[in-house]
C-alpha cells in the first residue's frame, strides 16, 4: 500500500464578493490520522471544511479523497463516497425522533426510490430490523438510548452534538469532519467526547479532521495540526510543536482564549 | 418609441418602488415575503377614494390621509397577527400574510364592489416630450414618488429610527445588545412601510384605476424588484423596481418578429394585450431563475 | 337532499385529493407550492380536451394526470434550487401565467366561454338516475387510492427524506440525500394527484371556464391542509371536508339575508383568509397534529 493521504487538498482558493476567504491552502490527512484545523476567527477554517464537504465550490484548487478528485461535487455525492461532516451549529431533523434521524441516515438510496416505496415495500421491511438494531447500538454508544423516541429538537446542545456523531457513524464513513465539536458543550461532556473520538479511531480506524478552539481537545486527540490565518496556511505540525511556534503564538495563541 | 418606453418605465418603476422598499425591509428584518403588502396598497388607494368621493376632500390631502390609514392598518396587522408569530419560522409568517391578504382583499371587494373606480373623470392634460406623451397626473406621480423616496433616504440615514433599522437589518443580536428597542422599532417600521405601500396604491390607482385585484397584480412584480435588488437592500429595491418596470415596458414594445421569423412567421409580432398582465409574471420568473441572489449585495439574501 | 349530499361529497373528494397532494409537498417536505391551481387547471383542460376529441374518459383522466406530472417536473427542474420563499413566489406566478394562457388561447380552451359538454366517465353503462351515486362512489375510490398512495409514501424511507427536506436541507445533503431529486419527485407525485382532481372536476361539472381556476382554489387547499393538520393525512381529509362545507354553506346565508352575489362571494373569501390566520395563531399544528412515529 502506497502511503498516499486519504484527503489531499492543494491550492484551495475561494472568494466571496471579492473578499478572499481562502488563498492557496493545502493540507493532507492520512488514513487513520486525526488532524486539527485551527486558526483565529475568520481564518477560513469552516470555509475550508465547506469546500471539502461540497457545500462550497472552490474557485481554484483540487480536493482528492481516496485518490479521486472530488472538487465541486455535491454534498450528497461527497457524503456517499464516505466523507461526512457535522456542523458548527448542529443540524438535525428536529421534528423527527432520534431513531427516525438514525434510520434516515442509515437507509440506502435503493430503498428511497419511488418505485421501491410503492412496489417493493417488503425489501425495506426486511432490512428495517437490522437498521433499527444498529441505530439502538449507536444510541447506546453516545448514551442517548433513553431518549430514542423523543424528538431530536428537545435534546440539549451537547446531546445534539452526540447524536450528530452517531448519525455520521451509522453510515460508516472513512473520514469524519467535525466542526467545533466542543463549542458550548459542558466540560464533563468534552472529556467524554475526547474519549469517544479516540475510541472510534482505535476500534473502527476512522480518520478525523477537526476544527476546534479548545486547545485541550486538540492536543488530546490530534496527531497533527494545520494552522490557518487570514485564509492562508500559517504552519503545520504535531500539537506540541505548534504550541510553541512563535508565528502561531502571535496570531492565535497570543490572543486571549476563553476556551 | 424608446422615449415612451423609458418614460413609462419611470412612472411604473416609481409606483413599484414605493412598495418594494417596504417588502425588502420586512424580508430582511422578519424573514418573510409579505404577501399582504399589495393589500396595504389596495387599502390605501380605497381610503383615498373614500375621502375623495364621500367626504369630497382634495385628492392630495386624501392621499396623505390614505397613507396614514394604510400605515395604521399595517401597524394593526403587526399587533394582531405578526407580532404573535415573532418566534415562528418565516414560512409561518408568509402563510399568515397570505391569509391576511385574502381577507383584506375580500373586505375591500365586499365594501366597494369588484368593478373599477376612478378618482376623477376629468380629461387629462397631456404633455409631449419628443415622441413620447405623459399625462399631468403621471408627472405628479413621479414627483410625489421621488419626493417620498428622498424622504425615506433622509429617514434611513439621518434619524435615530433609521439608524436602528439599519443596525437591526445588519445584525439583530448586536442591535439588541446595543440597547435598541427592537419591538418599538419594528412597530414604527410597519407603520412607515404600510403608509408607503398605501401611497403607492393611490399613485397606481391614479395612473390606472381602482379595483380589488390591483394588490395581487402589483405584489408579484414588487417581489421580483425586491429580489433583483438583493433582499434587504433598500437602494437595490428601488433600482430593481425601475429595472423590472423597464423590462415590462420594453417587452411590450419590442417587435418579437425576429424570434419567429425562422419559423416562417411574417410581419410584426407583439405581445397580445391579453397577455399584458402575464408579462410581469414572466419577467418575475426569468429574474428568479437568472438572478436568484439579486444584482446588488443583499443583507442576508435567501 | 340526497342529490345535494352527493354533490358535496364529490366536491369534498376533489379537494381532499388536492389537500393530500399539498400535504405531501408542504406538510411533509415543507415545499411552499402556491401554484396548485395550475395543475388543477391543466388536469381539467387536458382531460376535457382529450375526452371531447374521442378518447375514453378514464384514459383521458389518466393521461391528464401524467401531463400535469410532466408540467410539474418541467416547473420543478429549473426552480428546485430556489429557497422556499422564492419558490412560493415563482409557483404563484406560474399558476397566474397558466391562467392567463387559458383565458387567451381560445382555439385550445374556448377562452372565457370555456369548454362545455364534457363527457362523463362510463356514462353509457350507468343508468341516468343512479349516475350521481355512481360518480360519488367513483370519487371515493380515487380519494381512497390517493390516500393509500400518500400513506405508503410517508411511512417509508422515502417519507423520512421528505421530512428532512422540511427540517433542514443541508442536513439531508450532509447525510448523502440528493435533496433536489426528492423535491422533484414530490412535485411530480403531487402534480399528478392535483391533475387527477382537475380531471375529475371537469367530468363532474361537464363545463369548465378559466374562472374555475382562480388563485382562490390554491388558498382553499392551503386552508384545508393547515386547518386539518400539516403532516397528518387524515387531517387533510378532515380539513377538506370542513373547508368545502364552510365555504359553500355561506351560499345559504343568502336565503336568510338579502345580500348580493358579489358580497356573498367576498364573505366566503374573507372567511378563508380569516381561517388561515386564526389557525396559524391559535392552532398552528391543526386539528389533527402530526403524529410521532414510534419504533
For the stretch C33-80, pLDDT in tens is 999 999 999 999 999 999 999 999 999 999 999 999 999 999 999 888
Say yes or no to pLDDT of A91 above 90. yes
Q: Write down the pLDDT at residue A187.
A: 87
Mean pLDDT to the nearest integer, A48-61:
95
In a domain, B275, yes or no: no
Q: What is the pLDDT of residue A259?
A: 39
Residues 6 or more apart whose Cβ sits within 8 Å of residue B13: B241, B242, B243, B244, B245, B246
Mention every residue, 6+ apart, whose C-beta is less than 8 A from residue B16: B200, B218, B221, B222, B225, B241, B242, B244, B245
> How far apart, in whole angstroms, are the C-alpha atoms of residue C217 and residue B53?
34
pLDDT band at A3 (very low <50, low <70, confident <90, very high): low
Which pLDDT belongs to residue A215?
Answer: 87
C-alpha span between A256 and A207 (Å, rounded): 30
Which of the 8 DSSP states describes residue C213? G
B75: cell is 401597524
Ordered alpha helix ranges (H), A97-224: 98-106, 114-119, 121-141, 157-169, 187-204, 215-221
Whether the per-residue pLDDT at A256 is higher than 60: the answer is no
Proportion of chain C above pLDDT 90, given as a percent: 73
C residues 113-172 lying closer than 8 A (beta carbon) to A:
149, 152-153, 156-161, 163-164, 166-168, 170-172
Boundaries of domain holding B55:
2-213
Contact C2, C207 (CB under 8 A): no
Residue ranges of domains in chain A: 7-92+172-253, 96-154
Query: Which of the four CATH numbers 2.40.50.140, 3.10.129.10, 3.40.50.10190, 3.40.50.300 does domain A7-92+172-253 have?
Result: 3.40.50.300
Q: For chain A, what is the mean pLDDT? A: 89
If you average pLDDT over every residue of chain C, what do you get?
Answer: 93
Residue C228, classed as helix, strand or coil, is: helix
Query: Are C86 and C30 in contact, with CB atoms under 8 Å apart?
Result: no
Residues C186-236 pLDDT 10s: 999 999 999 999 999 999 999 999 999 998 999 999 999 999 999 999 999
CB contact under 8 A, C263 and B110: yes
Closest residue by Cα to residue B65 from B199, B176, B182: B199
**Greatest mean pLDDT among B258-272, C15-29, C117-131, C264-278:** C15-29
Q: What is the DSSP letter of A133?
A: H
pLDDT digits 0-9 by tens, B157-166: 999 999 998 8
Cell numbers of C163, please? 421530512
C contact set with B (CB within 8 A) = 30, 32, 34, 78-79, 81-86, 88-90, 92-94, 96-97, 100-101, 103-104, 215-216, 219, 222-223, 226, 262-263, 266-270, 272-277, 280-281, 284
Whole-number pLDDT of residue B272: 82
Low-confidence stretches of chain B (pLDDT beneath 50) = 300-302
- Which one of B104, B282, B292 has the shortest CB-CB distance to C97? B282
pLDDT at C230 (0 to 100): 94
Tell me how far CA of residue C195 lies from CA of A99, A117, A128, A212, B190, in angstroms: 36, 21, 34, 52, 40
Q: Do B98 and C263 touch (CB under 8 A)?
A: no
* DSSP result, C151-168: HHHHSSHHHHHHHHHHH-
In chain B, the number of structural domains is 1
pLDDT number for residue A245: 83
Residue B255 in domain: no
Q: Is the dihedral of CA C143, C149, C153, C156 positive or negative?
A: positive
**Containing H/E element for A224?**
strand A224-229
- Hey, are the CB atoms on B95 and C219 less than 8 Å from each other? no
Quote the CA–CA distance of C250 and C267 in Å, as a whole number: 8
CB atoms within 10 A of CB C235: 26
C-alpha–C-alpha distance, residues C93 and B224, integer Å: 10
pLDDT score of A252: 65
> Given a cut of 70, is residue A2 above it in pLDDT?
no
At A257, the pLDDT band (50, 70, 90 cuts) reads: very low
Residue from B39, B278, B300 whose CB has the most chain C CBs within 10 Å, to mutate: B278
pLDDT at B146: 95
Amino acid at each position: 500500500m502506497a502511503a498516499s493521504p486519504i484527503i489531499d487538498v492543494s491550492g484551495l482558493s475561494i472568494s466571496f464578493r471579492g473578499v478572499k476567504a481562502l488563498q492557496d491552502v493545502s493540507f493532507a490527512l492520512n488514513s487513520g490520522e486525526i488532524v486539527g484545523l485551527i486558526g483565529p476567527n475568520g481564518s477560513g477554517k469552516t470555509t475550508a471544511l465547506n469546500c471539502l464537504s461540497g457545500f462550497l465550490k472552490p474557485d481554484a484548487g483540487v480536493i482528492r479523497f481516496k485518490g479521486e478528485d472530488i472538487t465541486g461535487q455535491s454534498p450528497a455525492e461527497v457524503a456517499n463516497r464516505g466523507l461526512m461532516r457535522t456542523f458548527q451549529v448542529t443540524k438535525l431533523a428536529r421534528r423527527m425522533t432520534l431513531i427516525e434521524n438514525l434510520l434516515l441516515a442509515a437507509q440506502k438510496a435503493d430503498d428511497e426510490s419511488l418505485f421501491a416505496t410503492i412496489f417493493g415495500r417488503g425489501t425495506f421491511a426486511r432490512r428495517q430490523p437490522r437498521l433499527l438494531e444498529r441505530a439502538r447500538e449507536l444510541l447506546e454508544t453516545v448514551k442517548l438510548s433513553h431518549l430514542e423516541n423523543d424528538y431530536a429538537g428537545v435534546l440539549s446542545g451537547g446531546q445534539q452534538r452526540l447524536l450528530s456523531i452517531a448519525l455520521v457513524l451509522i453510515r460508516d464513513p472513512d473520514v469524519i469532519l467535525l466542526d467545533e465539536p466542543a463549542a458550548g458543550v459542558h466540560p464533563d461532556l468534552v472529556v467524554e467526547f475526547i474519549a469517544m473520538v479516540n475510541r472510534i479511531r482505535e476500534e473502527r480506524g476512522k480518520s478525523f479532521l477537526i476544527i476546534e478552539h479548545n486547545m485541550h481537545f486538540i492536543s488530546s486527540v490530534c496527531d497533527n495540526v494545520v494552522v490557518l490565518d487570514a485564509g492562508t496556511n500559517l504552519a503545520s505540525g504535531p500539537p506540541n510543536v505548534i504550541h510553541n511556534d512563535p508565528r502561531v503564538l502571535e496570531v492565535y495563541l497570543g490572543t486571549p482564549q476563553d476556551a | 418609441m424608446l422615449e415612451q418606453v423609458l418614460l413609462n418605465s419611470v412612472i411604473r418603476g416609481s409606483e413599484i418602488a414605493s412598495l418594494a422598499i417596504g417588502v425588502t425591509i420586512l424580508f430582511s428584518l422578519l424573514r418573510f415575503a409579505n404577501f399582504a403588502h399589495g393589500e396595504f396598497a389596495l387599502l390605501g388607494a380605497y381610503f383615498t377614494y373614500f375621502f375623495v368621493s364621500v367626504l369630497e376632500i382634495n385628492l392630495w390631502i386624501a392621499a396623505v390621509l390614505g397613507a396614514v390609514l394604510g400605515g395604521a392598518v399595517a401597524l394593526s396587522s403587526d399587533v394582531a397577527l405578526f407580532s404573535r408569530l415573532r418566534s415562528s419560522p418565516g414560512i409561518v409568517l408568509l402563510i399568515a400574510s397570505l391569509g391576511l391578504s385574502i381577507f383584506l382583499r375580500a373586505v375591500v371587494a365586499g365594501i366597494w364592489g369588484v368593478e373599477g373606480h376612478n378618482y376623477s373623470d376629468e380629461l387629462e392634460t397631456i404633455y409631449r416630450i419628443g415622441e413620447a406623451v405623459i399625462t399631468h397626473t403621471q408627472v405628479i406621480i413621479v414627483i410625489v414618488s421621488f419626493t417620498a423616496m428622498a424622504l425615506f433616504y433622509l429617514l434611513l440615514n439621518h434619524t435615530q429610527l433609521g439608524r436602528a433599522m439599519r443596525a437591526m437589518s445588519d445584525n439583530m443580536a448586536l442591535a439588541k445588545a446595543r440597547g435598541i428597542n427592537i419591538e418599538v422599532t419594528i412597530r414604527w417600521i410597519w407603520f412607515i412601510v404600510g403608509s408607503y405601500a398605501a401611497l403607492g396604491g393611490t399613485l397606481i390607482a391614479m395612473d390606472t384605476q381602482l379595483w380589488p385585484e390591483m394588490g395581487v397584480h402589483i405584489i408579484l412584480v414588487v417581489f421580483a424588484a425586491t429580489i433583483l435588488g438583493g433582499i434587504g437592500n433598500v437602494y437595490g429595491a428601488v433600482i430593481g423596481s425601475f429595472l423590472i418596470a423597464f423590462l415590462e415596458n420594453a417587452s411590450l414594445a419590442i417587435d418579437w418578429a425576429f424570434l419567429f421569423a425562422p419559423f416562417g412567421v411574417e410581419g410584426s409580432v407583439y405581445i397580445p394585450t391579453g397577455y399584458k398582465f402575464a408579462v410581469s409574471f414572466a419577467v418575475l420568473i426569468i429574474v428568479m431563475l437568472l438572478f436568484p441572489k439579486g444584482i446588488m449585495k443583499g443583507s442576508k439574501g435567501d | 337532499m340526497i342529490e345535494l349530499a352527493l354533490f358535496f361529497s364529490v366536491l369534498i373528494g376533489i379537494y381532499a385529493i388536492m389537500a393530500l397532494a399539498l400535504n405531501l409537498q408542504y406538510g411533509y417536505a415543507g415545499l411552499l407550492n402556491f401554484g396548485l391551481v395550475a395543475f388543477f387547471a391543466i388536469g381539467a383542460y387536458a382531460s376535457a380536451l382529450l375526452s371531447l376529441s374521442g378518447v375514453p374518459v378514464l384514459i383521458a383522466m389518466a393521461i391528464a394526470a401524467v401531463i400535469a406530472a410532466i408540467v410539474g417536473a418541467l416547473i420543478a427542474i429549473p426552480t428546485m434550487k430556489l429557497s422556499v420563499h422564492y419558490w412560493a413566489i415563482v409557483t404563484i406566478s406560474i399558476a397566474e401565467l397558466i391562467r392567463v394562457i387559458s383565458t387567451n388561447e381560445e382555439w385550445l380552451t374556448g377562452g372565457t366561454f370555456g369548454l362545455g359538454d364534457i363527457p362523463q366517465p362510463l356514462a353509457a353503462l350507468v343508468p341516468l338516475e343512479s349516475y350521481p351515486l355512481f360518480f360519488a362512489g367513483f370519487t371515493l375510490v380515487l380519494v381512497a387510492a390517493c390516500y393509500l398512495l400518500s400513506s405508503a409514501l410517508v411511512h417509508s424511507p422515502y417519507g423520512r427524506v421528505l421530512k428532512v427536506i422540511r427540517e433542514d436541507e443541508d442536513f439531508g445533503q450532509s447525510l448523502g440525500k440528493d435533496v433536489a431529486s426528492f423535491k422533484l419527485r414530490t412535485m411530480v407525485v403531487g402534480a399528478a394527484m392535483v391533475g387527477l382532481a382537475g380531471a375529475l372536476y371537469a367530468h363532474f361539472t361537464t363545463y369548465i371556464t378559466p374562472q374555475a381556476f382562480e388563485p382562490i382554489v390554491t388558498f382553499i387547499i392551503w386552508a384545508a391542509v393547515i386547518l386539518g393538520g400539516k403532516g397528518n393525512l387524515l387531517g387533510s381529509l378532515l380539513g377538506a371536508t370542513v373547508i368545502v362545507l364552510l365555504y359553500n354553506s355561506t351560499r345559504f346565508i343568502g336565503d336568510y339575508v338579502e345580500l348580493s352575489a358579489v358580497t356573498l362571494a367576498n364573505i366566503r373569501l374573507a372567511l378563508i383568509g380569516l381561517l388561515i390566520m386564526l389557525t396559524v395563531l391559535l392552532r398552528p399544528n391543526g386539528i389533527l397534529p402530526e403524529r410521532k412515529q414510534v419504533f
